[in-house]
Structure 1
Amino acid sequence: MKIRADILRMYKDIHSWVGITAGLALFVAFYAGAITMFESPLQNWATRPVPVSSVALEKTPELLAKIFAAQPQAMKSYSVIVHPTPEQPARVMWAALSGQERVSRHKVYAGMDADGNLEIVHQDPPEIANFINVLHQRVGLPFPRAISRPIMGIIALLYGLALISGTLILLPSLAKDLFALRISHNVKRLWLDVHNVLGFFSLPFHIVMAISSVVFAFHEPIFAVEHWMLGKSSALHPPQVRHGGTQQSHTVLLTPEAILQSLKVQVPEFEPDTLNYAQGRGGKLALRVAGHDPRYALRGPDSGFAGVDPYTGKIVSTDYLPGHQTPAFAVTTWFFSLHFGSFGGTPVRWLYFILGLAGAFLFYTGNLLWVESRRRRERKTGLLHDTRATTILASLTIGCTLGCVAGISASFAANSFLPGGGSYAAIESVYYAVFLFMIFLAFVVGVQSHKQLLLAIAGVFTIAVPVVDILARPAVFLRSGALSLDGTAFFLGAGLILTAMKIHLRTQKRRCVQSDLSASPR
């Protein structure tokens, strides 16, 4: 395909400036977003085991009666856990708002001991998984949601523009350059080849991320316009689950065991995980059952939902029920699941994790290419040193990207030392302290030497995650989820340190050659 030189030059300018404008924020979004693919396992890893005895499912009504007698406020909203785990052994839990902005809810867990006595445990779950998810949504900005979300939407629009322009740039030389990974002393050429390969082969993934991010950012005004035009709800903004059905013929709640048996008959392939009860109008309870069906995509990051009449056990809403949705809702579910990676089980989550890291590396290499191109243009004009603008951009590129890596790793490592695993404010303080420190270092130590130093620091912080787990929480380290997290952190940290060492050795070799050339007689 042939494109006129002037048009191609215009697309290159658009791609470069859009990439520079949005690249650093997108790095944070993709790196943190890759980690959120395992948000639930990370939450289990970070949470201290709840010291409460579980009860058999058939004893849940007895447990609930004792809970409501001791804690009447729990009747307004509570959850029954279908499959308790070692990290979450309680059969029943409920939550109370903490009253603090950006802090998740205080949780209360209940069980019974061997003598039938009620056990109640209060816990503020650690916020590391939630913080990383929020960091991903806000593209690294420490602003409230009302400010950061529109900014995220604008960045997503720029991201889409960069995808279009980058693809058009690559088209004329697609057959020649796509598989050409030229490993030589020309570092810029190597970065360009890697950037092109990553961008082209992950293009469908990036298109989905760009479009869905724009919708997530501006969904409220979109819904407002839609409601004004159509005058009714749609698949993107559905009505609330009905409370107890349209005709109420029962006044006694079915037991959780009976609810599960009824669902087994109605939707055999749907596997319930949690029964979430909430008090509605007139004191009637509404029931939303969270679960999954491995054959279908899920509306949420981890679950699909069925609206169930808690008095009859009949399903009253299938809007979010996998495999039982209307075509409009099914399309919307796939739209969300393509962003969350909530289909195909664990293999797809690992694929999205790898694509997320590759996306972060794509934006990192894009900024490096821009810096190197600007540096070469400056050298051609006779400048021996980088201009202030080039120095600032180079320092920001290294400082922000490696600051994000180091900050997230430091937050994970701090989990063992912070009270309760860390509140949102504590985790946020750790992250931004390390993040800003790395940016400060990038500006202070100099353009030529900051890359290997910051790479080494980020590597040390990342390797600290498994080291702290082994020393501080050996029992946690032996869990399968912890082994996956710690193993990934170890290899990533080791890779960063080895890269820093390689750059340092190459720099030393270059200096030795330059020293020999300057010392040789003319």
Structure 2
Amino acid sequence: MKLPTDLVKMYKEIHGWVGIVSGLALFIAFYAGAVTMFEAPLQRWASPPSTLAQAPSLARTPELVATVLAAHPEAAKGYQIHLSIDSANPARMSWTSAEGEEAEHGGGTKHYASLAPDGSVQVVTSGPSEVAQFIDVLHQQVGLPFAHEIAMPIMGAIALLYTIALVSGLVVLLPSLVSDLFALRIGKNVKRMWLDVHNVLGLFSLPFHIIMALTAVVFAFHDQFYDAQGMVFGGRERGGSAAVSRAAAPPLPLAPVQLVERIRQQAPGFTPEVLVYGEGRGGVPSLRVQGSDARYGLRAPTYGMAGVDPATGDIISTDYMPGMQDGWSATVTSFFALHFGNFGGDAIRWSYFVLGLAGAFLFYTGNLLWVESRRKKERRAGAVEQTRATRILAALTAGVPLGCIAGISLTLAASKLLGESATYGLHSAIYYTVFLSMTAWALVRGAARAGVELAAAAALAMLAIPVVSFLVGSDWFDTAGLMLVDATAVALAIALMLSAHASWRRAHNGARDSVWSSSARTPQSA
């Protein structure tokens, strides 16, 4: 396709500048997002064994609830019944106690309850690891350590830049689309090779990136969209917990065994996983059921939900119920499902994992190309030494991605090594300490040296994951968790070691005036 040269040049400039502004943040979002594709098995892998007695059967759950509410009446305001028990859901019953500011922001202390052999209630506050939640927040906020309300609009702006980069990159590629579509020229021209890799990754994963860009904008400005909808169409209440409104005292709720049976009768393909009890308006009982259906996309990353009458088991709210939604709700859910990749089973999840890693690599190669292009422009303009801006950008291109990888790896290892001591705050402290230290190291050492050293350090951090699994022992995890988490970590560690070797060769054999050359002179000023 023939396009005017000036138009292609303009879009090339736009693509380069937009990419360099948003690329490092998008690397963090895509890498952390790829990790969260297996959030549930990751949480099972990281969570310590429960100290509670074995969970009572579902048939004995009414006895458990009655005993807990007698000892802890505050739990009646809202509690959960878990239908399957594992390290991520270690108890049949749980609830959260929160007061004041904690309650306003959805925080508080999580309690887990079981019945001791003598029938007395056991309650603990140590539960599943919070590392998976931390990585998910890291993904949502593109690595920004700010409050959610501040980080999300910034993420939305980055997503908009991301969309511009996609459009401008496609325009730049169109003139040579046919000749360069399957080209991957590996040789002495390293910049040409990276450009080919960048173009191939970008073009063949373009639908995935369009989905990510558009859905990220929806997530970032979710509240604003709903506020605007409420102003235009009125305040339609959507998908909350279903309360049973009755003039007289409500009848007793069905037992969980009966509720599960009623739900399966009404939605045969839906698998109930959690019963969430609460109080609706006027203090009447409310119930929503969380679960999944492999045939449909889900509103939350791992579950959909339905409002249920606790007295009859009838499904009375289907806004978030997979397979039973109206057109509007299904449309909104499709945005969430396309972003989360929670449809189609493990095949889609593995595809999203690979595409997420490829996306992170796409932004990394984009930064490499931008720095190389800037180096050539400076040389043509008569500059003998690299400017300070180019050296800083090159150092950040090495430090930020590798700092992110190492930080996530070490906080994952810490979750298993420290067990109950590894709080959300500790995971945050470990990650940002590693991330900022490695970024600072890159700025001090320069891109060429740091590229080798930090890639090797990130590989060692990745290997800490299976090493900690070995040290903790086999009683902690199941075989599936070992295969998924530890084997993937070993594969990524090998890839990082190969990257360190390639960076070493480039530093010693590449162009001497390049920021990637360890033999280049270190300028005293820019």
Aligned length: 511
Between stretches 305-314 and 109-118, larger displacement belongs to 109-118
1:221 aligns with 2:231: no
Determine the C-alpha separation between the residues in 1 that align with 2:40 and 2:108.
Answer: 16
1:427 aligns with 2:427: yes
- Contact in 1 for aligned 2:198/2:365 (Cα 8 Å): yes
Same amino acid, percent of matched pairs: 49
- Contact in 1 for aligned 2:58/2:256 (Cα 8 Å): yes
TM superposition shift of 1:376: 1.5
Determine the structure 2 residue equivalent to 1:203. Answer: 206
- Contact in 2 for aligned 1:50/1:87 (Cα 8 Å): no
1:176 aligns with 2:179: yes
- Contact in 1 for aligned 2:44/2:87 (Cα 8 Å): no
Of 127, 132, 137, which aligns to 2:130?
127
TM superposition shift of 1:502: 3.5
Determine the C-alpha separation between the residues in 1 that align with 2:46 and 2:231.
Answer: 44
- Give the partner amino acid of 1:59: R
Determine the structure 2 residue equivalent to 1:518. Answer: none
1:164 aligns with 2:167: yes
Between stretches 341-350 and 157-166, larger displacement belongs to 341-350
* Structure 1 unpaired stretches of 5+: 516-522
- Give the partner amino acid of 1:172: P
> Are the structure 2 counterparts of residues 284 and 478 from structure 1 closer, same or farther at C-alpha, using a change threshold of 3 Å?
closer
TM superposition shift of 1:194: 0.6
- Secondary structure at 1:83's aligned position in 2? coil
- Contact in 2 for aligned 1:104/1:127 (Cα 8 Å): no
- Give the partner amino acid of 2:81: V
- State the superposition RMSD in angstroms: 2.2
> Are the structure 2 counterparts of residues 257 and 331 from structure 1 closer, same or farther at C-alpha, using a change threshold of 3 Å?
same
Q: Deviation digits for residues 237-293 of structure 1, max 9, x if unmatched?
A: 725343025787951111111111111221122110011101122322110000111
Between stretches 12-21 and 490-499, larger displacement belongs to 490-499
> Are the structure 2 counterparts of residues 147 and 89 from structure 1 closer, same or farther at C-alpha, using a change threshold of 3 Å?
closer
- Give the partner amino acid of 2:371: V
Determine the structure 1 residue equivalent to 2:335. Answer: 335
- Secondary structure at 2:112's aligned position in 1? strand
Determine the C-alpha separation between the residues in 2 that align with 1:503 and 1:138.
Answer: 30
TM-score (norm 2): 0.92
Determine the C-alpha separation between the residues in 1 that align with 2:144 and 2:265.
Answer: 48
- Contact in 2 for aligned 1:106/1:125 (Cα 8 Å): no
TM-score (norm 1): 0.93
Determine the C-alpha separation between the residues in 2 that align with 1:90 and 1:469.
Answer: 24
Determine the C-alpha separation between the residues in 1 that align with 2:494 and 2:106.
Answer: 33
1:78 aligns with 2:79: yes
Of 149, 153, 158, which aligns to 2:156?
153
Determine the structure 1 residue equivalent to 2:2. Answer: 2
Determine the C-alpha separation between the residues in 1 that align with 2:328 and 2:313.
Answer: 26
Determine the C-alpha separation between the residues in 1 that align with 2:28 and 2:376.
Answer: 28
> Are the structure 2 counterparts of residues 364 and 502 from structure 1 closer, same or farther at C-alpha, using a change threshold of 3 Å?
closer
Determine the C-alpha separation between the residues in 1 that align with 2:265 and 2:106.
Answer: 39
TM superposition shift of 1:505: 4.2
- Give the partner amino acid of 2:91: A
- Give the partner amino acid of 1:398: A
Between stretches 298-307 and 36-45, larger displacement belongs to 36-45
Determine the structure 1 residue equivalent to 2:442. Answer: 442
Determine the structure 2 residue equivalent to 1:65. Answer: 66
Between stretches 55-64 and 155-164, larger displacement belongs to 55-64
Pairwise mapping of residues 106-505 of structure 1 onto structure 2 (< 5 A)?
106-123=109-126, 125-233=128-236, 238=238, 240-244=240-244, 251-418=251-418, 420-476=420-476, 479-505=479-505
- Contact in 2 for aligned 1:36/1:132 (Cα 8 Å): yes
TM superposition shift of 1:426: 0.8
TM superposition shift of 1:144: 1.0
Determine the C-alpha separation between the residues in 2 that align with 1:390 and 1:15.
Answer: 17
TM superposition shift of 1:417: 3.8
Determine the C-alpha separation between the residues in 2 that align with 1:190 and 1:169.
Answer: 17
> Are the structure 2 counterparts of residues 160 and 202 from structure 1 closer, same or farther at C-alpha, using a change threshold of 3 Å?
same
- Secondary structure at 2:492's aligned position in 1? helix
* Structure 2 unpaired stretches of 5+: 513-517, 520-526
- Give the partner amino acid of 1:276: V
> Are the structure 2 counterparts of residues 103 and 264 from structure 1 closer, same or farther at C-alpha, using a change threshold of 3 Å?
closer
TM superposition shift of 1:494: 1.7
Determine the C-alpha separation between the residues in 2 that align with 1:168 and 1:339.
Answer: 25
- Give the partner amino acid of 2:347: P
Determine the C-alpha separation between the residues in 2 that align with 1:506 and 1:102.
Answer: 50
Determine the C-alpha separation between the residues in 1 that align with 2:419 and 2:118.
Answer: 32
> Are the structure 2 counterparts of residues 400 and 325 from structure 1 closer, same or farther at C-alpha, using a change threshold of 3 Å?
same
